[in-house]
Structure 1
Amino acid sequence: MFALAPLATAVRNAGHQVFMAATEETVPTIAQVNLPAISLTDRSLHSLISEDRNGNPVALPSGLEESQRHCGEWFGRLAAASLDALFELTNEWRPDVVVGGKLSYAAALIARTLNVPYVRHAWDFDDYVGIDPHASRELRPELDGLGLDDLPTPDLFIDISPSDLAVRHATEIQPMRWIPGNKQGKVLPWMYIPTSGRRVCITSGNRVSVMQSHDFICEVAESLAEEDIEVVIAAPEDAAPELRRRLPGLNIGWLPLDVVAPTCDAVVHHGGGVTSLTALNAGVPQVVFPGSSIQEESSERLARTGAALTLTRSEATPELIAKSCWSVLEDPEYKRRSVQLARDIAEFPTPDLIVRTLERL
């Protein structure tokens, strides 16, 4: 959702009417980036990930191929659960263009049903091509019901990847500048004033809540603190109290990462695309411990740019993460490459220019 917010805001600022549709649990977050939010389903992401359509448990995947299959299937289930609400919405309010996140398959189906342009919008630099066939199989009943042989091809693909990270399968590609789209809150001076020493931001995204990985985050933070590094931890508010209890004195909680990242000397994270791109946009080196096999592939590409150091899941012990972070801080080449990638990002067309492309569609 955060990756799509800048373009949605730009379209709205150009005078067009915009709705952003997602799951019920995501609606409050959409509202916090000042966009009109529509709920498509009350099914939780957790249930979509862990259960099939009949409510039977789904085993967590291991390895890239299994992860791609699992990802395609649960995003397919999300699309299937969203379609009734989308049909109801578009019976009353007909869009002229449908823009969907790269795995938001319901966007493709509703656009083709309405015979309006469909735009696929990347939200990171993960390679999606191995996921699509599994989503298509999961959505076979819906595709048959709509008279479609396969998932519709987008009329345009908006890519936010820096050139060195891009994996481009689509023919009609519109590059767009990455702009962080975080939800915001009160900004405190420590968030935007650089520290006199070295500052490292640690985050594992929502995984710290979903996977209950408090021990891991605390051990990483403690290992870094021993190196006389100021540590800040970006975490969902439901996980923050436990982390604050165990790590008193640290700044912990939901942080506006677009504000905090430029004050950091490194960002240590789980391989999430939004986190990676926010750090790149700020010209900040990264240490990545990927949370899935899909993220391992993209994290390895990030490491090959020279802007990050990536550990495999078997390597990612708190001690080795801290050691890797120290290596990134001590070697100026990581910073140099990060700054170069930030400059590359800044050269792409901004979302307000992409609005004209959507208008032409």
Structure 2
Amino acid sequence: MKILFTVGGSQAAVFGVAPLAAAARSAGHQIMLAADEPLMAAAASVGLPAVCITSERMRYGQESMTATARLDALLGLTANWTPDVVVGGLSHVPRVLAAHLGIPYVRHIWHIAPMARRDRAAVAELRPELERLGLDELPEPDLFIDLCPPPIRPEGAPAARAMRWVPRVSQQRVEPWMYTRPEGRPRVLITAGTRNLMLDTPGSSLRKLVDELTATGAEVLIAALPEAAEKYGAELGDVRIGWIPLDVVAPTCDLAVHHGGATTAMTLVNSGVPQLIIPDNGYGKAVAEAVASAGAAIVVDRNRPQEGRDPDEVIAAGCREILADPAYAARTRALAAEAATLPTPGEVLRELEALVAS
């Protein structure tokens, strides 16, 4: 079987499909990942064969701006490498491709934020591409795979095949401090993911947050892009900063402060780490509120400051609360345990195989 995986946007999309793609490859299937140029390095870092279909990163919510170029690139790819099934994500362009080829389409996403309105708008914007290919309408996905654990799925989310979240990130040489919990002190991780150089706190004072945390006796790690470490490392005091494999270090942490990325949040949930989330966009806010609804996080919304309170102090107080109250860790571990009961990528792959066989 030949499976075409398609992603766009951020590296998180690559890391999200990597476990299922790796399971398919290990089962003897041929796979190909079609992605944006900025995602090529991420694909290589997790061992996925990838082909570039656009030179710039696709932005969700602006699908019509790049739909023609992306679809033409996919049509060119599949003229020479004909898949038996297409696996797509938030974008609906791969759904157009599958309908044109007359093969099954599988949607593979985190349904952690309400998307019905955006989906309807995106499908409407693709009407010119449908007409160009002689298609009347887009069929529903033949299989919908959701990485979001049921307890934190949004209300009214469509029925889906839940799949266990398996962390997959770019790696580097692992050092003992990455997998060893410090003795006698908590460990706090701060990260802004791969989209931003550094976490933008409401008070714009990451150094102040670091100082507040170290004052409690905590060890502070900052997982950041190499260029962020070079630019800001000297300003942040006695912390470890740089590219840190999140899946390795997460089990050693007592708290994580981050921007609301789905990959970041799910990797931390998987390791039972409570979170303080400062969303950097609407999607991050949805992620934050979902994790908080399970009692596994505190949300600090930069757009809704608490009257009379310094934003930096609000963040610091939230960190102190999580570190002092074991209930946050207990609730996060309970969520992790429930998520661990979901079908593995290998189990879900069998459903995909049956879909193609039928």
Among all aligned residue pairs of Structure 1 and Structure 2, give the percentage whose two residues are the same amino acid. Answer: 43
Measured in 1, the distance between the counterparts of 2:21 and 2:81 equals 17
Letter in 1 for 2:322: V
Structure 2: distance between partners of 1:95 and 1:327: 51
TM superposition score normalised by structure 1 = 0.87
Give the CA deviation at 1:160: 1.3
Cα distance 1:241–1:333, how it changes in 2: closer, same or farther (>3 A)? same
Change (3 A) 1:307 1:221: same
1:41 corresponds to which of 54, 58, 62: 54
Match of 1:128 in 2: 115
Q: Distance in 1 between matches of 2:199 and 2:274?
A: 26
- Residue 354 (structure 1) aligns with: 348
| Deviation string, structure 1 residues 106-161 (Cα, Å, up to 9, x no partner) | 21111111111100001462222221122224333223222345544211110111
The change in CA–CA distance for 1:318 and 1:138 in structure 2 (over 3 A counts) is: farther
- Judge conservation of contact 1:32–1:183 (CA < 8 Å) in 2: yes
Task: Please say which of residues 278-287 and 305-314 is displaced more in the overlay.
Answer: 305-314
Count of matched residue pairs: 334
8 A Cα contact 2:255 2:273, kept in partner: yes
| Residues 210-263 of structure 1: per-residue CA shift (max 9 Å, x gap) | 998895433432332232211101111222211212124321111110101100
> Does the 8 Å CA contact 1:76/1:105 hold for their aligned counterparts?
no
CA distance in 2, matches of 1:321, 1:218: 13
Structure 2: gaps of 5 or more residues: 1-13
Q: Which residue of 1 aligns with 2:329?
A: 335
TM-score with structure 2 setting the length: 0.87
Equivalent position of 1:249 in the other structure: 238
Structure 1: stretches of 5+ with no match in the other structure: 50-70
CA distance in 1 between partners of 2:233 and 2:131 (Å): 51
Q: Secondary structure at the match of 1:208?
A: coil
Query: Residue 207 of structure 1: CA displacement?
Result: 4.2
Taking the TM superposition and a 5 Å limit, the aligned residue runs for 1:70-81 are 71-72=60-61, 74-81=62-69
Give the Cα–Cα distance (whole angstroms) in 2 for the partners of residues 150 and 35 of structure 1: 32
Given that 1:77 and 1:138 are in contact with CA atoms closer than 8 Å, whether structure 2 keeps it comes out as no
Quote the residue 1:88 is aligned against.
76
2: distance between equivalents of 1:210 and 1:81? 32
The answer as to whether partners of 2:279 and 2:301 remain within 8 angstroms in 1 is: yes
SS of residue in 2 equivalent to 1:195: coil
- 1:19 aligns to what SS in structure 2? strand
- Please give the alpha-carbon distance, in whole angstroms, between the structure 2 residues aligned to 1:283 and 1:328: 13
* Residue equivalent to 1:227: 216
The whole-number CA distance in structure 1 between the counterparts of 2:275 and 2:350 is 34
Deviates more, 1:315-324 or 1:125-134: 315-324
Structure 2 Cα separation of the partners of residues 38 and 127 of structure 1? 30
